[in-house]
Amino acid sequence: MMVDVQKMEQLADNLAVQEEVQGRSLFADARRRFLKNKAAVVSLIILCAVLLFSIFGHMITAWSNEEIDWGILGQIAELGAPSIENGHYFGTDQLGRDLFARVVQGTQVSLMVGIVGALIAVVVGTLYGAIAGYTGGKVDNVMMRIVDILQSIPYMFVLILLLVVFGRSIFMLFVGIGLISWLDMSRIARGQTLTLKNKEFVEAAVATGVKPITIILRHIVPNLLGVVVVYSTLLVPQMILTESFISFLGLGVQEPNTSWGAMIAEGAGAMQYGTLWQLAFPMFFFIITLFSFFFIGDGLRDALDPKDR
Amino acid sequence: MALLDIQNLRITYDTPDGVVEAVRNVNLQIDKGETLAIVGESGSGKSQTAFATMGLLPHNAQVSGSIKYQGQEIIGLSHEEMNKLRSNEIAMIFQDPMTSLNPYLRISDQMAETLIYNSPNGKRMKKKDAIAECVRMLEAVKIPNAKNRIHLYPHEFSGGMRQRVMIAMSLLCRPKLLIADEPTTALDVTVQARIMDLLVELQEEFHMAIVLITHNLGIVAGSCERTMVMYKGEVMEQGSTVDIFGKPSHPYTQGLLSAVPRLNQDEERLVTLDRSFETQMAEG
Amino acid sequence: MSTKEPILSVRDMRVEFKIKKQNALPWHQPEILRAVKGVSFDLAEGETLGIVGESGCGKSTLARAIIRMIPSQGGEVFWQGRDLMKMNEKGLLGIRKEIQMIFQDPLASLNPRLTAGQIIAEPLKTHHPSTSKDEVKKQVRELMEKVGLSARMINRYPHEFSGGQCQRIGIARALITNPKLIICDEPVSALDVSVQAQVVNLLMDLQKELGLSLLFIAHDLSVVKHISNRIMVLEFGDIAEIGEAHDVIHNPQSPYTKELINAVPIPDPIAERKRIAERRALEAKA
Ligand SMILES: Nc1ncnc2c1ncn2[C@@H]1O[C@H](COP(=O)(O)OP(=O)(O)OP(=O)(O)O)[C@@H](O)[C@H]1O
Ligand SMILES: Nc1ncnc2c1ncn2[C@@H]1O[C@H](COP(=O)(O)OP(=O)(O)OP(=O)(O)O)[C@@H](O)[C@H]1O
Ligand SMILES: [Mg+2]
Ligand SMILES: [Mg+2]
């Protein structure tokens, strides 16, 4: 029960540390937390490697993605296997084209499609859902019915219509992806917004007189981020697969260009001839990218949540 | 052996604005059936001490020292073992009722869940029985029309009712140690008195030990044998409530007691704490 | 106080909640809970009206209905002569600059993804968007110190504060735009007596300086008595009694007020234990 003098001294020392504090940005904080997550960092490195591979890969091979190696055509199963000597590092495809060059080029397309699709979903879908959910009432009803309608129209029909009207181009591929990618996201964002809307801190912002659009951007959207980020990393592989479907319809990437989806389909078809490498290489890239996105998404969600450290 | 024995507890946080020492050198013991009050300045580490005992500190907290519950060390206990302790032995009433209730679940579901999975007699309870038991508990904490109200969502309750739901929930499994973190802040004095009666009743029946964290010195005076005073993360003094209220030895305690507003005083300004003791003490 | 024109007058305010029974079918009538049943009062400029009452009697609901956070089923609210209930959203935004609210649940009313500094600055940024960054920061720091928070905590997130510290962030947020009226829903419930005194004194100082009016909801009768000019006692959504603070406390008229005052615990172990023992003996007899 005695007053401990030493204790009080320490206490006063505690109080003496009153130096100026640095500003603290959400971004710098998030980066610090992200870097602590080993799986996420490794994944990020892998993803960067894949990206570099897609950009600079064509420099280290003599072959292009459309040249046919006439020397091995017809004997793919015997001569087309991966080998350093003839320069086909990943082997060749059924037509004798260099698989390495094709994977490099396919990676460009697929990564682009995945990332653009996810971005559209995040930006358009989140905002759309948040606005619908926050405004509520008639506006919400109309906005969500539009989503219903877009989702109920057969996708193939829309694509064919686009193809007929605008002709084929890589640009149309992104239009096609953009059209569907945000629909599910907007529903998820709306659902979350409905529950956030009743939270007291949103009520406090309303009582303060903050304008609705500011409330959405400052109070709702940041609190949606966790769900949004996770869902969008699931969306990336879905978009990559959708691309192969669109391409199959003749809207997207056209021969001799290719993509992961197309190559995996071809590789799977050619398996019966014993050319397993045609499936293995594109599949390998597809899978490591999937996993990377998954872990990065997980890391991002934790990093963006100030509560979790 | 004390039921709960905390030795040299220290909790620090590494924040961008420096190391925050939330709790420092806290020692406390509590026996079966005893009531200990923790009072002290806002931000003095009372809740942090409670969280540490429940194993609920955030991931970035650095803890040292020892917390023994019935001789078993709690710091460093695995998730499962801690969960088991929390469901059967130690219960906590959280300071912030709204953030500790799930907004998407009806009160009935949240309350019954605890009973169904950890009923006091070890058997799995039927949902109907569990809900009936929950209603009884809600009636005990004076929720009007508890039978119908139990099926509402948390946001349909008033602030004080949520707090009472938290109290009822923590008592359902008959804990041996109850940590009540400011359990009556949102309650008027009449309901507050009822709640304290209920706690005393249960304590006598089940020999429950209570750690009561509160700012309400009237409650401390009325129902706690021992009192511990905290200031800036440290224990200033602890001892029997009668002694501490009668002749407080620490200048902080003296200041705190003299700052209590009373119904029959008519001063223009409320008394605040004279913090000059900090520098006095530091100087020697 | 009656000489002045009231700044806020509430007439016959009524709020009802529809409560759906569990497993109710769509055509079942929901039960109606009448949370506020026709409350009227006036508040003058620079005046404090304390509101007390049993937990669940409709204090928070009344407060939220006044500033139209929830719909009311009848009644009028005049703010400086203008009827708030008939105002459109745009008009309301202007009024919200003058009326601020401190919420009952401290942590829940703070956005977990904003720092303390950003939270406190929000009203300022909303209503005075041209204020420079440095000026905002300066005001936030000043205010934090005034409510007893160290300014170096400015970059922390709400979950890194204690309950009472969160409550003070909420108080600072309500004060920063110098509003004319603050509706305080248990603003000091999580504070120890000395910090509580500091905050109450701050509010009273501002009142003297700027003519701030307060609606002060609290359970601690001694604090309510201290800060209020008048006290309104609510019981089941109705006014049990309203009058000068001193009269209500020292000469209560309604039985409920008497009961409340008798139940106030005394911060003295010997006297308080005696009081409890007497009460229990009395109850055992009855
Ligand atoms: N996650 C955290 N990171 C950094 N500092 C923290 C964190 N959590 C709590 N603190 C600090 O630790 C100190 C003790 O907090 P604690 O919640 O234990 O206070 P308390 O005594 O319960 O106060 P109150 O009566 O206001 O609830 C406070 O100064 C608080 O700011
Ligand atoms: N959104 C809602 N839906 C249904 N009922 C509600 C809702 N909000 C409040 N109520 C009910 O209205 C009544 C009054 O609640 P209110 O929050 O105003 O009480 P209070 O006086 O603030 O109590 P406390 O002191 O406990 O905070 C309570 O019975 C509560 O259950
Ligand atoms: Mg606390
Ligand atoms: Mg309330």
**CA-CA distance, A2 to B112, in Å (whole number)?**
48
Whether A132 shows a pLDDT value over 80: the answer reads yes
The answer to whether A308 contacts chain B (CB < 8 Å) is yes
Contacts of B2 (CB under 8 A, 6+ apart): B29, B30, B31, B68
Mean pLDDT value of segment B269-283: 78
What integer pLDDT is reported at residue B210 of this predicted model? 96
Q: Which of residues 208-267 of C touch B (CB under 8 A)?
A: 219-223, 225-226, 249, 259-261, 263-267
Ligand 2 site, residue B157, Cβ cutoff 6 A: yes
What is the pLDDT confidence band of residue B257, given thresholds at 50, 70 and 90? Answer: very high
**In order of start, what are the domains of chain C with their CATH numbers?**
45-61+90-253 (3.40.50.300)
C24, pLDDT greater than 80: no
Average pLDDT over residues B61-71: 94
Tokens of B238: 């602890």
Per-residue confidence at B125, pLDDT binned at 50, 70, 90? confident
Question: Looking at CA atoms only, how far is residue B220 from chain C in angstroms?
Answer: 8
Query: Which chains border A (3 or more CB–CB pairs < 8 Å)?
Result: B, C
Tell me the per-residue pLDDT of A233-245, one tens digit each, with 9 for 90 and over.
Answer: 888 878 887 877 7
> What's the mean pLDDT when you consider all of chain C?
92
Interface partners of chain C (CB pairs < 8 Å, 3 or more) are A, B
How confident is the model over A195-221, as pLDDT tens digits? 899 889 999 999 999 999 999 999 999
Over residues C125-144, mean pLDDT: 94
Q: Give residue B161 CA to ligand 2 midpoint distance, Å.
A: 8
Q: What separation in Å is there between the alpha carbon of C163 and the centre of ligand 3? A: 5
pLDDT for the residue C3? 53
Q: Do A11 and B238 touch (CB under 8 A)?
A: no
Structure tokens at A217: 């951007």
Q: How far is the centre of ligand 1, averaged over its atoms, from the C-alpha of B43 (Å)? A: 5
Distance of CA A188 to the CA centre of its chain: 17
C-alpha torsion sign, points A145, A146, A149, A155: negative
- Vertex A230, ends A228 and A236: CA angle to 5°? 95
Q: What is the pLDDT at residue B121?
A: 67
Q: Separation of C147 CA from ligand 1 center, angstroms?
A: 16
Residue C1 has pLDDT above 50, yes or no: no
DSSP string, A14-70: HHH--PPPPP--HHHHHHHHHHH-HHHHHHHHHHHHHHHHHHHGGGG-S--SS-B-T
Backbone φ and ψ for A210, nearest 5 degrees, come out as -70, 140
- Chain-chain contact of B249 with A308 (C-beta, under 8 angstroms): no
What is the per-residue pLDDT for C196? 94
pLDDT band at A250 (very low <50, low <70, confident <90, very high): low
**pLDDT over 90 percentage in chain A:** 24
The token duo for C252 is: 């209560």
What pLDDT score was predicted for residue A309?
A: 45
CA B156 to chain C, closest CA, distance in angstroms equals 9
**DSSP strand pairing (B61-69 vs B72-73):** antiparallel
| CB contacts, 8 Å: B259 with chain C | 193-194, 197
Whole-prediction pTM value?
0.89
Query: Tokens representing A193?
Result: 């917004």
Question: What is the arithmetic mean of pLDDT over C111-135?
Answer: 93
Give the B window 1-30 contacts with C, CB below 8 Å.
Answer: 13, 15-18, 20
What number is the average pLDDT over the span A184-202? 92
Tokens of B272: 């605040």
The answer, yes or no, to whether any atom of ligand 2 lies below 6 A from the CB of C58, is yes
| One-letter identity of residue A25 | S
| Ramachandran quadrant class, A97 (left: phi over 0; alpha: psi -120 to 50; beta: rest) | beta
Measured distance CA(C282)–CA(C286) in Å, rounded = 6
**CA of C64, closest atom in ligand 2:** 18
Q: Enter the tokens of residue C104.
A: 């009952």
Angle between helices A221-249 and A126-135 (to 10 degrees): 130
If you take atom 25 of ligand 1, which residue's CA is the nearest one?
B42
- The domain segmentation of chain B, as residue ranges, is 99-174
**Residue C224 Cα, ligand 3 centroid: separation in angstroms?**
23
Mean pLDDT (whole number) for A282-296? 88
Question: The tokens 């500790």 sit on which residue?
Answer: B100
Closest residue of A to C93, CA-based? Answer: A209
Q: Which of A176-180, B9-13, B116-120, C147-151 has the lowest mean pLDDT?
A: B116-120
Q: Is B80 touching A (CB cutoff 8 A)? A: no
Percent of chain B whose predicted confidence (pLDDT) is above 90: 64
Instruction: Among B14, B15, B38, B44, name the best residue to mutate to test ligand 1's pocket (greatest count of ligand atoms within 8 A of Cβ).
Output: B44
For residue B275, the chain A residue with the least C-alpha distance is A12
Q: Is the CB of C236 under 6 A from ligand 2?
A: no
Confidence at C45, pLDDT banded by 50, 70, 90: very high
Q: Record the tokens describing residue B85, joined without a space.
A: 């302790």
Mean pLDDT calculated for residue range C219-238: 94
Which residues contact residue B194 at a Cβ distance below 8 angstroms, ignoring those fewer than 6 apart?
B141, B142
Nearest CA to ligand 1 atom 2: C160
d(Cα A9, Cα A27) in Å, to the nearest integer? 38
ipTM of the shown complex: 0.92
CA distance C269 to chain B (A): 4
List beta partners, residue C50.
C216, C231
| Average confidence (pLDDT) over A19-48 | 78
Among B41, B193, B241, select the one facing C195 at the smallest CB separation: B41
Q: Strand B226-231 and strand B234-240: pairing? A: antiparallel
> Angle at the Cα of B144 (from B140 to B149), degrees rounded to 5?
100
Ligand number with the minimum distance to the CA of B13? 1
% of chain C at pLDDT higher than 90? 83
Which residue, C94, C40, C104, C97, is CA-closest to C66?
C40
Q: Sorting pLDDT into bands at 50, 70 and 90, what band is C90?
A: confident
Question: Mean pLDDT throughout A29-36?
Answer: 83
* Rounded (5°) CA angle A251-A253-A254: 90
pLDDT tens column, A86-116: 777 777 777 778 888 888 888 988 888 888 8
